[in-house]
Amino acid sequence: MAKRTQPVYIALAAVWGLVVLWQVLEHSRVRESARGALINRSEDISTTLGLVIRSQRRGGGVISQERMENTLNALLKFGELKSVALLNAAGNVVISVGAPLDLAGTGVLQSGERWDRTTATLVNLIDLGAGVGREGETNRPTIILPPRDTNAPVGPSPEMRDRERGRMGPPPEFFEGTNAPPFPPPGVTNGFMARAWRPPPRRMSDEEYQALLKSRGLHGLAIAMSTDTFRRTCSQDLWVRLIIGCFAGVSALGFGIAWRNIVKSSQLQMRLVRASELTSHLKEMNLAAAGLAHETRNPLNIIRGLAQMISRRTDASADVQEHSRDIITETDRVTAQLNEFINYSRPREVRRTPVTLRSVAADVARALSHDLDEKDIDLSISEAPVTVEADEQLVRQALFNLVLNAIQAGTEGCEIRIVAAEGANHEATIEIRDDGPGVAPEHRTEVFKPYFTTQPKGTGLGLAVVQQIVRAHGWEIECVPNEPKGAIFRIKGMRVTSKNPDHAS
C-alpha cells in the first residue's frame, strides 16, 4: 500500500507547494503594485505642488512664506498626505507643515524613500518652480522669503509715494550703500501719508542674494504619505491568498484521504475475494472431513464388535481378554471424538419454536443421571417458567454439553445449579453454576475455541459446539467466576415469548 500511495502523496504535496508559491508571488506582485501606486500618488502631489509654486512666483522668483504655508496646508487636506517639507540644495528644510520629519537621522536623503509601519517618506530632489525663459535661459530658482518682522517700519508703495510727491522718487543709487533718510521726501505734506511713509528697502547685493538663494532657495521636496491604504490592500490580498492556500491544502488532503480509502477499499475487496475463496475451500474440506469421519465410524464399530467377541470367548487367555477390553475403550474414545467433530462441522439450521427452559433442563438432567450419581453431584433446576424462542434440539444439546462439562470439571459431592430468569426488554438468561475448581482468568475466553481443553479425557469440542449453537441463535455466552468458588456459564440475549410450547402447532 505504501509503495502505491507514496507517489500520489508526493504529487499532491508538490501541487499544493506550487499553489502556495503562486500565491506568494501574486501577493508580492500586489504588494509592489500597491507600493508603486502610493509612489505615483506622491509624484502627482509633487507635480501639483510644482505647478502651484510656478503660479505663485513673483518678480525675481520669490514667494512669501505665509502664502507658501497656506498652499501646503491646503495640500494636507488629501487623506494620505501627512506632512510636506520644502528643501534647499543642501537638503535642509526651508518650510514644512504637518508632522515633523527627521530627514537627517534616518538617511532618507540618500535612499530617496523610507517605509515604516504607518508612514512612507519620499524625497524628490528637483528644482521646484524653475523653468526655461523666452531666450532659452533657466529662470532663477524659487526663493521662500522669511516671515516679516512686524516691528519693522513699513513704507508706502512707490505708486503712493509718486502720487503724494507728484513726481518720481529719488533714484535708486540714492539708497545704495546708505541708510534711508529718516524723514519724508520733499512734497509729502499730507498728515496720513507723512505718518505712513517709511523709507523703501535698500537694494540687495549679489553676495546677500546668493546667501539667501543658498539657504531659502527651493531644490527639493519631502513628503510623508500614510500607508493605511497600502497596508489595507496588502492585508486583504494576504487573507485572500491564505484562504486559497488553505483551500488548496484541504483539497490535497481530501484527495489524499480519498485515494487512501480507494486503495484500502480495493485491497479489502481483494481480501474478501480471497477470504470467500478460502471459505469455500474450507467448507469443501469440512464436508470432506465430516464424510471421512462418518465413514471411519463403520470400521471402528466393526473393530469394537470383534474385540467384544474376543473378550467374551471362554478359551481366550486373560491377556487377550484384557487387550480386547483396551481395544474397546480406545475405540469408544475415538468414536466419541469423531461424533464431536461431525457435530461441530454440521451446519446449524435454527428452527425457532417456543421452548420452556425448565423442561429442557429436566430432560438433560435425566440423560446425565448416571454421571451425576457416579460422582454424587447434586443438580438443581430453577422453578421459573421461562419460555424463549429457540430450536429445542439445539438448546438441549447446548445445555447437555454445559452440564457435562461441569460434571467432568467438578469434584465428588459438588453442586450444579441451572438458573433461568427473565430480564428487561423481554430477554432471558440461563446460567449453569458449579462450585468446582473454576476456570482460570486467562482461559475464560479460550475455553470456547475448538480443541482447547483442560481435562485429560476431554475432546475440546464440547464448549465450541455450545458457542456455535449460541451464535446461530444470535445470543451471547460468557464464562465468569462463581463466588466464592466455581464457574458460571451464562447464555444471554434470549427472546422471551408468552406462547405455551405445549400448544404449538
* 29-80 pLDDT per residue, tens: 999 999 999 888 888 888 888 888 888 777 667 888 888 888 888 888 767 8
- For the chain, the straight-line distance linking the first and the last C-alpha, in angstroms and rounded, comes to 58
Q: How far apart are the C-alpha atoms of 23 and 245, rounded to whole Å?
A: 7
Mean of the per-residue pLDDT values for the chain? 79
**What average pLDDT does this structure show over 362-382?**
88
Strand partners for 85: 96, 222
pLDDT, residue 41, reads 87
**What are the two backbone dihedrals, phi and then psi, of residue 78, each rounded to the nearest 5 degrees?**
-65, 135
pLDDT digits (tens, 9 = 90+) for 306-316: 888 888 887 87
pLDDT, residue 410, reads 82
Helix locations, 57-134, DSSP H: 65-75, 103-106, 108-111
> Residue 459: pLDDT above 80?
no
Question: In which band, very low, low, confident or very high, does the pLDDT at 24 lie, cut at 50, 70 and 90?
Answer: very high
Least confident of 8-17, 328-337, 364-373: 328-337
Q: Is-contact 489 432, C-beta < 8 A?
A: yes
pLDDT digits (tens, 9 = 90+) for 468-504: 889 989 999 999 888 888 899 999 989 998 655 544 4
pLDDT, residue 3, reads 64
Q: 3-state SS of the chain: helix, strand, coil percent to 5?
A: 55, 15, 30
Length, in residues, of the chain: 505
Question: In which band, very low, low, confident or very high, does the pLDDT at 160 lie, cut at 50, 70 and 90?
Answer: very low
Q: Is-contact 356 399, C-beta < 8 A?
A: no
Least confident of 32-46, 150-164, 210-224, 357-371: 150-164
Which residue did the predictor score with more confidence, 138 or 51?
Answer: 51
**What average pLDDT does this structure show over 81-105?**
84
> Residue 305: pLDDT above 60?
yes
Judge residue 269's burial from the number of C-beta atoms within 10 Å of its C-beta, 0-12 exposed, 13-18 middle, 19 or more buried.
exposed
**Helices and strands (H and E) in the chain: how many:** 13, 14
pLDDT, residue 382, reads 86
Angstrom distances, CA of residue 379 to CA of 119, 356, 386, 401, 462:
99, 18, 19, 15, 20
pLDDT, residue 171, reads 44
Indicate the fold that domain 349-503 takes in CATH: Heat Shock Protein 90 (3.30.565)
Angstrom distances, CA of residue 320 to CA of 86, 311, 313, 315, 327:
137, 7, 10, 10, 10
> Residue 152: pLDDT above 50?
no
pLDDT, residue 169, reads 42
**Checking DSSP bridges between strand 143-145 and strand 62-64, what pairing results, if any?**
parallel
Q: How far apart are the C-alpha atoms of 344 and 32, rounded to whole Å?
A: 82
pLDDT, residue 251, reads 92
Segment (H or E) for 380: strand 378-381
Question: In which band, very low, low, confident or very high, does the pLDDT at 164 lie, cut at 50, 70 and 90?
Answer: very low
Domain layout of the chain by residue ranges:
2-129+226-240, 349-503
